[in-house]
Amino acid sequence: MAEAAGLREHRFVRLPDLREASDIPETVFEGLPPTYIPLRNPIFYSFAASYAEETGASVIVGGHNKDDAEVFEDVSDEFFSRLQGALRAGSVRLRRQRLQILRPLRRRTKAEVLKLASAVGVPFELTWSCHKDGQSHCMSCAGCASRIQAFSEARLSDPLTSAHRKIT
């Protein structure tokens, strides 16, 4: 995806110790989906802020949508307002740059995001929604189920479900 987008630099950050709620014994994450990863977004945005501080960037852009905010507390407007303040407070450079966290998709559903992505030519065959490791989507986990539902609601054809049907 990074290559297709023409990014100048693409870094991989490995976080092998992050676990989903369903993988944590005697979980205390009642009411959250089994795919919930404790404090996942603050971790990811801290890495992004570190990169912004290093490179002099003043904006971090997140792709969270309206559907995410209905499930996860760390996608709320209040959370991001406070996180932006904390990141600025922790770095003279980010404060000077007036770091902003933008979330342009926050008021759109997943289906609406897919329609927009289709209109601008996003290569859906390169996107990843699966919660499992592997070379291809499992088409049965919560991430894949959400993808299938969103494509259906958007009335768009998903190249991955077409390819999956051919394989199975």
Domains of the chain with CATH codes: 1-108 (3.40.50.620), 109-168 (no CATH)
- Residue carrying structure tokens 């329609």: 115
pLDDT digits (tens, 9 = 90+) for 20-31: 888 888 778 888
pTM over 0.75: yes
154 has pLDDT over 70: yes
Q: Exposed e or buried b for every residue in 25-64, given b needs 16+ CB within 10 A?
A: eeeeeeebeebbbbeebeebbeebbeebbeeebeebebeb
pLDDT digits (tens, 9 = 90+) for 50-93: 999 999 999 999 999 999 888 888 999 999 999 999 999 999 99
pLDDT digits (tens, 9 = 90+) for 94-150: 999 999 999 999 999 999 999 999 999 999 999 999 888 888 889 988 889 999 999
Per-residue confidence (pLDDT) for residue 21, from 0 to 100: 87
